[in-house]
């Protein structure tokens, strides 16, 4: 480790500092010395300025387009989260629950529409009874999903891991000790023909398949039922699988991924 006295100036160390070739302990010593030694500070600045231009010796290459869109989404998300609100607490809570609120509103509209369909179908002949039953079953399922959303205690974000999911996001809403939860998937394009999206929960040495789905809405809720409590797993992911596959193991095509 360097031991610098006021009478000893940075010489070799300035170049090594600028090139990140000093061990951390020496970096601290060099910075401490330069702070009180203007000539050495100047030498350090000059060396850093020169070294930084070495970046231009690398061959420039265009990054894939999704890097930029993913970055802009991150900025958009951050901007939303830091938008002024009444209080910091309400800002965080609002940001975290906005997707859920949107989905609940969606459900309400959906159920209102369904209810009118049910009323209409009740007035029809017995042949329509089967249709009404199906719609009511969907409503019950929606109501269950709404209940799970309303009761959820924690929200975990999933982020895109594939260019195929460019622009897509998801949030897992879950309750401690419960095996059921709801994923809200946003902007996930429909899978290619013959493929489905498959939800997995995992921890070390364990990967459990849950529901599969085909995204059709810009913001779509998907109920998740895991074999054990969701908070007993470490990760959640959505993969792209053959619709006819056995799905014992996830494919390599991870679309969205998050920590639980």
Partner 1 sequence: MARRETQDRAETRADDDQLIARVAAGDRSAFDALYERYASAVFGLALKVLREREAAEEAVQEVFWRVWKRAASFDRSRAFAPWLFGIAHNYCIDELRRRKVRPQVVYEDDEHPILSEIPGDADIGAEAVMAEQRGLVRAALDRLPPEQREALMLAYFSGLTQQEIATQLGNPLGTVKTRMRLGLQKLRTLLQGHQLVEE
Q: Which residues bind partner 1 (CB under 8 A)?
A: 11-12, 14-16, 18-23, 46-64, 67-68, 70-72, 74-75, 79
Rounded to 10 deg, the angle between the 38-52 and 24-35 helix axes is 130
Q: Which is nearer to partner 1, 63 or 193 (CB)?
A: 63
CA distance 170 to 215: 12
Least distance to partner 1 from the beta carbon of 74, Å? 6
d(Cα 111, Cα 122) in Å, to the nearest integer?
16
Nearest Cα to Cα of residue 207 among 241, 174, 159:
241
Q: Which is nearer to partner 1, 73 or 220 (CB)?
A: 73
Please state the closest distance from residue 183 (CB atom) to partner 1, in A: 24
Least Å distance between CB 56 and partner 1?
Answer: 4
**Residues in Cβ contact with 148 at an 8 Å cutoff, skipping those fewer than 6 apart:** 173, 175, 178, 180, 181, 182, 223
Hey, what are 126's tokens? 């017995």
State which residue, 3 or 20, has the beta carbon closest to partner 1. Answer: 20
> What SS3 class is residue 177?
coil
Asked if residue 178 lies in contact with residue 224, where contact means CB atoms within 8 angstroms, the answer is no
Closest contact distance (angstroms) between CB of 178 and partner 1 is 34
Q: By C-beta, is 19 or 143 nearer to partner 1?
A: 19
Minimum separation from the CB atom of position 108 to partner 1 (A): 34
Whichever of 46 and 217 has its CB closer to partner 1, that residue is: 46
Supply the minimum distance, in Å, between the C-beta of residue 11 and partner 1: 7
Q: Of 62 and 89, which has the nearer Cβ to partner 1?
A: 62
Please state the φ and ψ torsions of residue 71, each to the nearest 5 degrees.
-65, -45
Start-to-end CA distance of the chain, whole Å, equals 43
Question: How far is Cα 149 from Cα 144, in angstroms, rounded to an integer?
Answer: 9
């Amino acid at each position: 480790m360097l031991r610098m006295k006021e009478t000893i100036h940075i010489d070799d160390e300035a170049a090594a500092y600028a090139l990140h070739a000093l061990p951390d302990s020496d970096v601290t010593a060099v910075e401490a010395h330069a702070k009180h030694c203007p000539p050495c500070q100047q030498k350090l600045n000059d060396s850093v300025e020169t070294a930084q231009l070495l970046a231009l010796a690398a061959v420039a290459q265009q990054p894939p387009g999704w890097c930029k869109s993913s970055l802009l989404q991150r900025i958009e998300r951050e901007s939303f989260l830091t938008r002024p609100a009444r209080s910091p607490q309400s800002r965080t809570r609002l940001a975290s629950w906005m997707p859920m609120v949107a989905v609940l509103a969606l459900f309400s509209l959906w159920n209102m529409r369904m209810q009118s369909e049910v009323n209409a179908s009740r007035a029809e002949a017995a042949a329509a009874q089967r249709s009404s039953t199906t719609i009511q079953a969907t409503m019950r399922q929606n109501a269950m999903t709404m209940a799970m959303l309303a009761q959820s205690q924690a929200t975990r974000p999933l982020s895109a891991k594939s260019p195929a999911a460019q622009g897509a996001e998801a949030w897992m809403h879950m309750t401690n000790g419960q095996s059921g939860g709801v994923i809200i998937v946003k902007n996930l394009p429909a899978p290619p023909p013959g493929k489905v999206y498959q939800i997995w929960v995992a921890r070390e040495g364990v990967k459990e398949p849950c529901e599969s789905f085909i995204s059709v809405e810009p913001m779509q809720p998907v109920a998740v039922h895991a074999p054990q409590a969701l908070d007993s797993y470490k990760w959640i992911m959505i993969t792209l699988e053959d619709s006819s596959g056995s799905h014992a193991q996830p494919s390599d095509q991870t679309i969205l991924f998050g920590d639980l």
